[in-house]
Each structure stands twice: as structure tokens, then as C-alpha cells.
């Protein structure tokens, strides 16, 4: 669904100005990312506000997405699946009550997962050369460690859930 919409838009852009636009494939890929992100943010924040967890939802999204940029993580095989699963995660987890006593536990678990598995599954999803991967790991550790001072349960939860996406899940045969 998202792929088809992005293809229609990309084709329309290409037809409007074929000489000064990039390929349809590149535009479609970029549009899929934009549409996916917009839907996730709009639906998640709307539901978060409706449930009285708007701030928590924004913090969760920022922590999850911010850490994902530096660590990578599991990717689904279609943008529609990605949107659905991301919305479920971004809407559901901020609704959970997380006590302050869990912040250091979540922080330590997140750091361990990052130290062992990050960056994960970023080849082909980024233009960052592999020689910078240790820097990405260090940056991710600093971001997570910052919450030992901030002590925000929602950030801790977002970091932990994102860190769990670093685990490799073998395909069933």
C-alpha cells in the first residue's frame, strides 16, 4: 500500500520534470521512508494524546528512533509491515507504567546489547563507511548512559526496546 502510493507520487514527479529529477526508484525509496515516518508519528502521537500519554509517546519515539540511527536493528521485509509494527510499538509501550527503579536495569541491559550487537543490520541501509561503526557504537552507549543522569523511565524503555531489535532472529526454514 505504502509502496504503491510512493510509486504513484514518484512517477508523477518524474513525469512533471523528467530532466531534472532523479530516478523513480530513488524517489520511491525516499518517499516510502517519509510516508512511513509520517504515518508512525501522526498515529502514535494522536493516540498518545488521546490516552493522556502524548509526552511519553514523543519521548519514546525520540529515544527509539535516535538510538536506531546509531545502532541499526532488525528490518521487516515490507514498508507496510514496518509501519504497522512500528505503530504498535510506538503506541503500546508508552502506555506501560515504568517505575524509576527500572531505569538503571533497562540502561544496563541496553548498554550490554549495544556493546555486543551494535551496529546491526545497517549495511545497505546507510552510506556510513564501516570504519565509523565503532564510533556509532560509542555514541549509542553515550546516549543510553546519559539516562543514568536524566533518569527518565520512558527514555529507558525506548532505549531498551530499540536495543532488543539488535538481536539477530534466524529465519525459519
- pLDDT, tens digit (0-9, with 9 covering 90-100), for 33-56: 899 999 999 999 999 999 999 999
Is residue 169 predicted with pLDDT exceeding 80? no
Give residue 124's pLDDT.
Answer: 66
Check residue 171 and give left, alpha or beta (phi > 0: left; psi -120 to 50: alpha).
beta
Residue pointed to by grid coordinates 504515518? 39
Give residue 173's pLDDT.
Answer: 64
Sign of CA dihedral 131, 134, 135, 137: positive
Q: How confident is the model at residue 123 (pLDDT cuts 50, 70, 90)?
A: confident
Give residue 100's pLDDT.
Answer: 94
pTM of the full structure: 0.87
Q: What is the mean pLDDT of residues 135-162?
A: 97
pLDDT tens digits for range 56-111: 999 999 999 999 999 999 888 888 898 999 999 999 999 999 999 999 999 999 99
Give residue 159's pLDDT.
Answer: 98
Strands (E) in the chain, as ranges, are none
CB 10 within 8 A of CB 31: yes
Give residue 2's pLDDT.
Answer: 83
Q: Which of 62, 59, 168, 165 is nearest to 110 (CA)?
A: 165
Amino acid at each position: 500500500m505504502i509502496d504503491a502510493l510512493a510509486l504513484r507520487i514518484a512517477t508523477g514527479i518524474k513525469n512533471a520534470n523528467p530532466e531534472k529529477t532523479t530516478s523513480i526508484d530513488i524517489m520511491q525509496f525516499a518517499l516510502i521512508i517519509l510516508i512511513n515516518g509520517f504515518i508512525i508519528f501522526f498515529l502514535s502521537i494522536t493516540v498518545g494524546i488521546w490516552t493522556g500519554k502524548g509526552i511519553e509517546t514523543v519521548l519514546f519515539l525520540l529515544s527509539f528512533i535516535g538510538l536506531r540511527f546509531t545502532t541499526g536493528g532488525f528490518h521487516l521485509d515490507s514498508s507496510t509491515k514496518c509501519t504497522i509494527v512500528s505503530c504498535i510499538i510506538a503506541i503500546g509501550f508508552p502506555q506501560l507504567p515504568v517505575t524509576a527503579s527500572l531505569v538503571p536495569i533497562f540502561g544496563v541491559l541496553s548498554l550490554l546489547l549495544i556493546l555486543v550487537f551494535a551496529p546491526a543490520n545497517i549495511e545497505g541501509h546507510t552510506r556510513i563507511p564501516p570504519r565509523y561503526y565503532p564510533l556509532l557504537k560509542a555514541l549509542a552507549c553515550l546516549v543510553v548512559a546519559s539516562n543514568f543522569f536524566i533518569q527518565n523511565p520512558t527514555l529507558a524503555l525506548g532505549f531498551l526496546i530499540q536495543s532488543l531489535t539488535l538481536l539477530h532472529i534466524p529465519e525459519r526454514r
